[in-house]
Amino acid sequence: MTSRTPFLNRRDILTAGLGCTCSAFLYAQDARADEKPRDVFVERAAEGTPHKGKVLLAVQAHSDDIPLMAGGAVAKLVKEGYTGYLLRATNDDMGDAPGLGTAGSIGDHVLGNERDNAEVARVLGLKKVFDLNYLNHRMADVSQNELQCRLIFLIRLLKVDTVVCWDPWAHDEENPDHVAIARGIEAACWMAGRAHDYPEQLAAGFAPHAVTEKYYYARRPEINRYVDVSGVLEQMIDANRANRAKGPAGNHGSRLRAELAKSRQKLPLLGDDDVMADRNYIREFILARRQALGKTLGVPYAEAFHHIGGPASPSTVEEYVKKNAVPIK
């Protein structure tokens, strides 16, 4: 059985008064938001590092996708032993909607988001960043075969076991970059395991390697797994604070604090310094949806995913052979 979360639009924002450019997400609330989801698996924090030796590829079209949608799950999996990498598909040259991120030229956006993306990787404990550097909002022009080839190369190079990415099957997706990278990942995950796809990569020394597990995130995901991310709260806050050039988090808290001070007002929530203002703003507004979801599950914070794969189960044939095979006399 699957469940749905309300439609999420990055541009549904509440802009503060006083002429302030600071903004926070407004999330549509499900009429049954207080009801506990039924028949959906909840992935809890694991003891130790059970995933040691496995490789995770966190995939985003833009620098703020993972922090906003799946930063908790990525941090949790790395904490549990994964070696993680971050892939960003675009160069974020288009910046963001008015009131989000940091205003500037196209060049400012490219450089600012490159720096932010590197900091997101560091905060989440990811080993290396790969930037494909396609033009922002122009990935509909990119050949799917080219994109799949590049992704297959990385999957084979890194020997990726698990990906975290936009859901290629999700509803209500308006951003062409999200759609393109999701479709590319979905195809690359299984094609990377086939010896006849891009054999020149095998000649260069790589081996076929298929991805076996996927955590797909979306604006309105078809949910079959919740992940308890309460144990990595501080990393979620730090990852969102790293996104200053793009998105609704970054330094919006300190910017709101400064705007209020001009009219001799203040919010106790924002504290007495910029760092506290940014962190508390993110905790209160940006992570509100994770907190509301966690409340329904009996945990402080949670994220929702369309999960595919995991440890392989014996096939019907294997089970039959195991039960019925007899020695030859």
Q: What is the pLDDT of residues 283-301, one digit of tens each?
A: 999 999 999 999 999 999 9
The answer to whether the beta carbons of residues 116 and 244 sit under 8 Å apart is: yes
Percent of the chain with pLDDT over 90: 79
The pair of structure tokens assigned to 239 is 């990852």
Mean pLDDT is lowest, of 251-255, 271-275, 317-321, for 317-321
Largest CA distance in the chain: 94
Report, as an integer, the average pLDDT of 115-122: 98
Question: Does the pLDDT at position 126 exceed 70?
Answer: yes
Question: Does the pLDDT at position 241 exceed 60?
Answer: yes
- For the stretch 3-17, pLDDT in tens is 444 444 444 433 333
Report, as an integer, the average pLDDT of 239-263: 96
Q: Which residue has the higher pLDDT, 211 or 27?
A: 211
Q: What distance in Å separates the CA atoms of residue 2 and residue 286, rounded to the nearest whole number? A: 25
Report, as an integer, the average pLDDT of 52-80: 98
- pLDDT band per the 50, 70, 90 thresholds, residue 37: low
pLDDT value at residue 242:
97
Question: Does the pLDDT at position 97 exceed 90?
Answer: no
pLDDT value at residue 36:
57
pLDDT value at residue 221:
84
pLDDT value at residue 329:
85
Q: What distance in Å separates the CA atoms of residue 76 and residue 50, rounded to the nearest whole number? A: 12
Mean pLDDT is lowest, of 3-17, 136-150, 300-314, for 3-17
- Residues making up the chain, counted from first to last: 329
Q: What distance in Å separates the CA atoms of residue 210 and residue 194, rounded to the nearest whole number? A: 8
- For the stretch 151-202, pLDDT in tens is 999 999 999 999 999 999 998 999 999 999 999 999 999 999 999 999 999 9
The pair of structure tokens assigned to 13 is 């924002």
Q: What distance in Å separates the CA atoms of residue 116 and residue 21, rounded to the nearest whole number? A: 20
Q: Which residue has the higher pLDDT, 99 or 241?
A: 241
pLDDT value at residue 16:
35
* Residue 203 CB coordination number (10 Å): 8
* Residue 221 CB coordination number (10 Å): 25
- What three-state secondary structure class fits 140? helix
- The pTM of the full predicted model, rounded to 2 decimals, is 0.87
Percent of the chain with pLDDT over 70: 87
- For the stretch 200-231, pLDDT in tens is 999 999 999 999 999 999 998 899 999 999 99
pLDDT value at residue 288:
97
The pair of structure tokens assigned to 57 is 């590829």
pLDDT value at residue 11:
43
Q: Which residue has the higher pLDDT, 36 or 6?
A: 36
